[in-house]
Amino acid sequence: MVNASPTQDEANYSDFYVWATLHFRTATSVISGVFDEEFALKNALRAIRWAWNSIPAGSRPSLDDFTKTCFLAMPPVSEPGLPAHLVSFIAHPGIQYFDAPLYYGHRTGRQYYIIDGPVPTHYRAIPFTLYTPYADPENPGRSSAIQDRVSPIPILFFQEGGSLGFPIEASADCKAVVRLLGGDHKLVNLETKSSLTVRFGWQDYPADECRIRGTEGSPLNNVSRLAMLTAGAVRNFMARISENRPVYGAAPPQWRIGTRDGEINVRNVLLLGVLFVSEGSVMPLLATCV
């Protein structure tokens, strides 16, 4: 059966299937930890629709069949080179569903997009307030139109050993080498961009942003380069906060940025990935030691 648009029953089943799949995973996932569980669920649902709409209308399966076939949570036994408990989406050889790296499953022989994953052991996600472009309650359509053009899945940074995330300090150490799975992948949406805005919504601190720039020899659309530049932007943001402690002193202790005992500093922060929040900006996905 092929569908140009889903029936209400198909949409309801797809929504329930995704909810049931994620129900026991979102509490410890990257996206829910940085934002919240409701957003993690909505983002996964948007990813399903995004991928389904990428298929030519005349050859689309029903939305519920498509969801059951392609959307899955990887089992507790991890694929070689990847962490366990990932939320993934099976790729189609003839269709690029998302502008994101693909990862090969040695056990299944399939390729996957990664939609979400667990925060690494002994770390906790740093909560952010989600940036919404043109957030105007009197004109919500403008914001929705922009968000509909932005890929719903994050670009997660996996090291070659399979661990998720890397220390942001590593990008400042010229002797440190961070090798990422899919690090040479080229992001199509960044091919023509020479700069990108990194937005910060760190809990109880004013919203902030930093501009990162690529060069002809090190373009932004290279995943490894994007990761290193974003890590540098995070370090610079945290340094500004630490230097202006009297101004930014109201954050609760568990999320306070600084160099004192119990505060979050660049030595204990992992960059897990980025999430595009507009066509020209990302928010970093961060974690700190428990």
Going from N- to C-terminal start, the domains of the chain cover 1-118, 122-290
pLDDT at residue 171, rounded to an integer: 67
Residue 133's pLDDT band (boundaries 50, 70, 90)? confident
Taking residues 215-239, report their average pLDDT: 91
pLDDT at residue 43, rounded to an integer: 92
CA angle 71, 77, 81 (to 5 degrees): 85
The pTM for the full model equals 0.91
pLDDT above 90 coverage of the chain, percent: 55
Q: Tally DSSP H helices, then E strands, for the chain.
A: 6, 11
Q: Which of the 8 DSSP states describes residue 5?
A: S
Instruction: Give residue 244's Cα distance to chain centre.
Output: 29
Report the distance separating Cα 83 and Cα 94, nearest Å.
27
pLDDT at 176 over 70: no
More confident residue, 241 or 134: 241
pLDDT at residue 137, rounded to an integer: 61
Report the distance separating Cα 44 and Cα 287, nearest Å.
21
Residue 26's pLDDT band (boundaries 50, 70, 90)? low
Paired sense of beta strands 103-105 and 208-213, if any: unpaired
Residue 66's pLDDT band (boundaries 50, 70, 90)? very high
Residue 232's pLDDT band (boundaries 50, 70, 90)? very high
Compute the mean pLDDT over every residue in the chain, rounded to the nearest whole number.
86
Query: What letters, b where the CB count within 10 A reaches 16 and e where it falls short, cover 206-226?
Result: eebebebebeeeebbbbbbbb
Going through 62-207 in order, the beta strands assigned E by DSSP cover: 71-73, 87-90, 103-105, 110-116, 123-125, 155-156, 166-167, 195-200
pLDDT above 70 coverage of the chain, percent: 86
Residue 143's pLDDT band (boundaries 50, 70, 90)? low
Instruction: Give residue 130's Cα distance to chain centre.
Output: 12
